[in-house]
Structure 1
C-alpha cells in the first residue's frame, strides 16, 4: 500500500472544546468509535509519543495536523486559521472528515 492510499477514512461529529492549560488551544475530541478505529492503526502510523498525522476537513476547510492521545481517546487540534475560516468556536458541534495514510518511506 502506498502513502497516497488512505488506510482509514472517518466522518464524525464532535463538540469543540477549549483547552485552557498553559498553552490554550481548541480541539475536537474523536468519538469512542472513531478513536477505536484510529487506535487499531496507531502503531503503523504514529511517528512517536502516540501522535498520529492526519488530513482533516471541517466546515469546508481542509488541513493537516496530528492527533494527540488523551484519556484513551484522541484530540484533533483546530488551529486558529482553520477555526476562523470554518467559523467555529468552543461549544460548537462540527462534522469532521478525517483521513489516515501510510507513512512515506524515504
Structure 2
C-alpha cells in the first residue's frame, strides 16, 4: 500500500534538533487502519519513505493524534530541505 501527501518540515528542539513531517488528517486515518494490524510497542509503525529521489526505511511516530515522519540530516541536507518548506512525501507499507 502506498500513501502520498505534502506537508511542511517542522522541528522539535530537544537536546539536539530533530526534523519531522506530520501526516495530514486524511492520511492519518488511513495509517491508523494499517497500524491496527502492524504496529508494535507504543504505536510505532515501520514504513518506507520516498522524498524526491531518496528512499529509506524508518518508523512513523504517533504524536497528538497524527504521525510524524522523522527526517534525518543525512536525508534533509542533501535534498536541501528547509524548515517550513512543503515537502512531497510517499509512504509505502508492506502488507
- Aligned counterpart, 1:53: 46
CA RMSD of aligned residues (A): 1.1
- Aligned counterpart, 1:62: 55
Q: Which of the two has greater strand per residue?
A: 2
Whole-Å separation in 2 of the counterparts to 1:86 and 1:44? 33
Q: Aligned pairs, how many?
A: 95
TM-score of the superposition, structure 1-length normalised?
0.84
TM-score of the superposition, structure 2-length normalised?
0.93
Based on CA coordinates, which of the two structures has the bigger radius of gyration?
Answer: 1
